[in-house]
Amino acid sequence: MFQKILIANRGEIALRVQRACRELGIPTVAVHSTADADAMHVRLADESVCIGPPPARESYLNAASILSAATITGADAIHPGYGFLSENADFAEMVEAHGLAFIGPSPAHIRMMGDKIEAKAAMAALGVPLVPGSDGAVSDLDAARRIAAAIGYPVLVKAAAGGGGRGMKVANDADEIEEAWRTARTEARAAFGNDAVYLEKYLDRPRHIELQVFADGRGQVVHFGERDCSLQRRHQKLVEEAGSPMLSAAERDALGARATSALAKLGYRNAGTLEFLYQDGQFAFIEMNTRLQVEHPVTEMVCGIDLVREQIRIAAGQELGYGQSDIRFSGHAIECRVTAEDPETFMPTPGRVTAFHPPGGLGVRVDSALYAGYRVPAHYDSLVAKLIVHAPTREQAIARLRRALAEFVVVGIKTTLPLHQRIVEDAGFQRGDYTIHWLERFVAGQ
Ligand code: ADP
C-alpha cells in the first residue's frame, strides 16, 4: 500500500479523498494556491504545500509545481480528484515517469476517452450502441450541412475535447447549422485548444443515465449500478439519483453486462463512468469519464462502498476481491449540488460565509469544505456543498431531502439551496417524470 498520497485538488473533493486515506491509515499531502491557504482541505491534511497564485493554471493545473510538491514531501501516489488534471493524460504520464502512482486509469485510456470521437469509435467497435451522428470529425461546413441533413434536424455540434457542457451547440434546422458549427468550433478552440467537432442527433426527450464501473486491471470488472443525472442546467448536472426512477433491475443488469464486457476487452483499470442518453427504452453512449465523478456519493450510499478506497486499493495493485454477484443495491439516494450562485440569476456569489449549519440525522450526508468564517474564492468552481440523502424508497428519500434542505443554513453568501427546495416540492420531480430538458424549463418558470 502507498506510504503517502498527495491530493492534487481542493474543496470538498480534496476532503473526500483525505477521508478515505485517513481510514486506510495513509498520510496525505494537500496542495493549495495562495487563495486557499485557509481552506479546510489544507487544515485537515497531514502536510501542505503552496503550489502557486490563485489562477488555476498557475497552481492546480501546474503539473511541475504539483510534482515538485510530491517529490519534496516523499509522496508515492497522486490522487487527482475530479476536474483540474484528473483527465489529463500527459499529467498521468508525468506522474508515472517520476516513479509515482497515478490513482486512476492508464494514460492511454485517459487519452482515448478524452477524445469523444475516439471514445465513440472504440465503444462502437465493442458493441456499445451510440447516439446516431457523424462518423468522426466534421472539418468543413459543407460536410456539416450534408451530414446534418442525413441525420435529420435538430442536430448537436459537439467538441471532441468537450467537457463541462462547453463547445456544444444545437442547430434546429439548416439555417442554424453554420452558426452552430462555427461557434462550437470557436468555443472548443478557446476552451480546449482543439477545435475538432462532430455531429450528433439532438434527442428531444432523453434521460441522462450513467453507469459506474470499476476494473482492477487483473481481469475483474464490475459495475455499481446507474445514476440518473437528467436534472441539468446548461448541460451541467444539478441533482443526481441512484438508481434511476425509470430503470428496471433487468435493464440495469443488461446494460451492466454489456458495459463490463466492453471494458474487460479494453483492459481498463480503476474507476470509470459510461454516460448514456436513454430514450424510448434504448441506451445510446455519449462519453466515458475516466475519473471519480462529483455525483459518486449516491452510488456509495446505495452500494455501501467507499469508491475512493477502491480506487486507491486498485492503484496500489490490489485485486478487487469480489464479483458482480457480491454487489447489492439498497434503497434510493439523491444528491443536490449546492453552488455559490444566485438561485435565480446563477451569477457567482463568492464571499465570506458567516454561519454554516449542515443538516444531519439518519441517511443524511454532506460533503463540503465550508466553515463559518471561510471566504469562498472567486477563482474556482462554484460548488460549495453536496447534500446526499439515502432512504429505503425514493419517496422516503424525497421526504428526507425536504427535511434536510430545511435544516441547511449557509449565511453570508447566496447559494442554490432555495432552488433545490423548489425542485423537491415539484410534482414532476416527485413522480420522477423528467428528461434532460426539464430543469431548464423549470428554472425559466414554464
Ligand atoms: P460534457 O462532456 O461537456 O459534459 P456530454 O457529452 O457528457 O458533454 O453531454 C452533456 C449533456 O448534454 C448530456 O448529459 C445531455 O444532457 C446533453 N447532450 C449531450 N449529447 C446530447 C444529444 N445527442 N442529444 C441531446 N442532449 C445531449
State whether the beta carbon of 163 lies less than 6 angstroms from ligand 1: yes
Query: Do 226 and 184 share a structural domain?
Result: no
Q: Give the span between the Cα atoms of 117 and 20, in whole angstroms.
A: 34
For the chain, the C-alpha Rg in angstroms (whole number) is 21
Burial (CB < 10 A; 0-12, 13-18, 19+), residue 331, is middle
CATH code: domain of residue 336: 3.30.470.20
Residue 436 CA, closest ligand 1 atom number: 16
Nearest to 188 by CA among 162, 164, 170, 165: 162
- Last residue of one domain, picked from the residues 87, 103, 119: 103
Each residue's pLDDT expressed in tens, for the chain with a length of 446 residues: 999 999 999 999 999 999 999 999 999 999 999 999 999 999 999 999 999 999 999 999 999 999 999 999 999 999 999 999 999 999 999 999 999 999 999 999 999 999 999 999 999 999 999 999 999 999 999 999 999 999 999 999 999 998 888 889 999 999 999 999 999 999 999 999 999 999 999 999 999 999 999 999 998 999 999 999 999 999 999 999 999 988 999 999 999 999 999 999 999 999 999 999 999 999 999 999 999 999 999 999 999 999 999 999 999 999 999 999 999 999 999 999 999 999 999 999 999 999 999 999 999 999 999 999 999 999 999 999 999 999 999 999 999 999 999 999 999 999 999 999 999 999 999 999 899 999 999 999 87
310 found inside a domain: yes
Same domain, 33 and 146: no
330 and 424 inside one domain: yes
Instruction: Give the global pTM.
Output: 0.97
> From CA 30, how far away is CA 111, in angstroms rounded?
26
Strands, E, within 292-363: which ranges? 332-339, 351-352, 355-357
Q: Do 143 and 28 sit in the same domain of this protein?
A: no
Assess whether 189 and 81 both reside in one domain.
no
Burial class (CB in 10 A: 0-12, 13-18, 19+), 21: buried
CB 296 within 8 A of CB 85: no
Test site for ligand 1: of 208, 278, 279, 440, most ligand atoms within 8 A of the Cβ: 208
**Cα(446) to centroid of ligand 1, in Å?**
22
Residue 121 lies in a domain: no
Decide: 290 and 113 in contact? Cβ < 8 Å.
yes
Write the residue with the smallest CA distance to atom 22 of ligand 1: 202
Domain at 11, CATH number: 3.40.50.20
- For residues 266 and 290, the answer to whether their CB atoms sit within 8 Å is no
Helix, coil or strand: residue 158: strand
Q: Which atom of ligand 1 is nearest to the CA of 286?
A: 6
394 alpha carbon to ligand 1 midpoint, in Å?
25
The answer, yes or no, to whether any atom of ligand 1 lies below 6 A from the CB of 234, is no
* Residues 374, 16: Cα–Cα separation, whole Å: 18
Distance 420 CA to ligand 1 centre (A): 22
Determine whether 19 is an active site residue.
no
Q: Which long-range contacts (CB under 8 A, 24 or more apart) does 253-259 make?
A: 255/211, 255/226, 255/283, 256/211, 256/223, 256/225, 256/324, 258/127, 258/128, 259/128, 259/211, 259/213, 259/223
What's CA 408's distance to the chain center, in Å? 24
Q: Tell me the β-bridge partners of 356.
A: 410
Q: Is the dihedral of CA 427, 445, 176, 234 positive or negative?
A: negative
Assigned domain for 399 exists: yes
> Do 197 and 212 share a structural domain?
no
Residues 429 and 305 in one domain: yes
Domain count within the chain: 3
Q: Do 264 and 221 belong together in one domain?
A: yes
273 and 372 both lie in a single domain: yes
Residue 330 to residue 392: CA distance in whole angstroms: 7
In the chain, the amino acid numbered 159 is A
Q: In which domain, by residue range, is 29 found?
A: 5-103
Of the candidates 123, 95, 103, the one whose C-alpha atom is nearest the C-alpha of residue 26 is 103
